[in-house]
Amino acid sequence: MSHFASVLLLLAAAAPAAACASQARRGQQLYAERGCAVCHGPGGRGDGPSAKRLDLPPRDFANVRAYRQGSARSDVVASIRRGTPGGAMPAFRDLSDAEADDIAAWIVSLQQPGSGGQP
């Protein structure tokens, strides 16, 4: 394989990752703008100032086993848009699908696949 072809392949492989990072940055911005940190905490650890007064406190986004509605990005989008039935997460219908997807991209970026602990 020529050097030029190798570079093209590398660029092609990097593009989706860059797009994901860009989405995650937008999502982090939206997360801060919309006040998600009130419950979820500034870093998504479930430690926002209102969390301790909720009967069902938010989970730590780093812990992939903690997600009640699934930890895939599409699951997170669904939780944002529809809320979590029986939980404390309301439906954020004011967010567009694209905005919810951006926030989900950031949340998923916080996941630590090897994380354990109590869900």
Partner 1 sequence: MRRRRPGPLAIAVMSAALAGGAVSGCRGDAAPGLELETRPDFGGDFTLTNQDGQPFRLQDVRGRAVLLFFGYTSCPDMCPATMSRISGALSRAGASAKDVVTLFVSVDPRRDTPAVLKAYVASFETPPIALTGTDEQIHGVAAAYHASYEIVPTATANYLVNHTTAIFLIDRQGRLRRYFAYDEKPEVLAAALRTVLNEKSS
Q: Does 48 bind partner 1 (CB under 8 A)?
A: yes
**Residue 85 in the binding site for partner 1 (CB under 8 A):** yes
Candidates 1-9, 50-58, 71-79, 111-119 — which segment interacts with partner 1 by CB under 8 A?
Answer: 50-58
Structure tokens at 53: 């007064």
- Nearest alpha carbon to residue 61 among 91, 26, 24: 24
Largest CA distance in the chain: 61
The residues in 6-25 that bind partner 1, with binding defined as CB under 8 A, are none
Smallest separation, CB 80 to partner 1 (Å)? 10
Instruction: Tell whether residue 95 is a contact of partner 1 (CB under 8 A).
Output: yes
Q: Which of 99, 116, 119, 117 is nearest to 107 (CA)?
A: 99
